[in-house]
Structure 1
C-alpha cells in the first residue's frame, strides 16, 4: 500500500486528514485504524483467535442453558 492509499484509508476511517506528525509505518497508525501490526500473518492469527474464542463462548453459553433448563434438573 502506497502513501496515497494510506492517506485515503485514514480519511475514510476517520473523516479527516492525518496529522503531519503521523508516520504510516508506526504502530500508532495501525492501532488508530484498528489494523493489525504485522501484516497478513497477524491478521490471520487474530481471526483464528477470534474464532476459537467465539466457539468457546458459544459452548459455555449452551452449557449454562442446559444447566438452567428444568428438563435436566434433579
Structure 2
C-alpha cells in the first residue's frame, strides 16, 4: 500500500505541476479528488503496516497532502479557469 500511495503521489505531483500552467488550471478539479484517493490509500497503508516499514506510506501521505493543498490554493486564486 505504501508503494502504491507513493507512486500515486508522484503522478499527482507531475499532474499538479502541469495544472500550474495558465489555462490548464481546470486540471485541479480532477487533481484534488485523485490526490485524496492517494491519501486514503496511504492512510490505509499506515494502519496495516508495521511502524518500521511505514516510510513509503508516510511519504505518500505527505506528498498527496501537499498536492491537495496546492490544488486548493490554485483553485481559490484562479477559479480553475486561468
TM-score, normalised relative to structure 1: 0.39
Structure with a larger share of its residues in helix: 2
Tell me the TM-score normalised to structure 2 length.
0.36
- State the structure with more CA Rg: 1
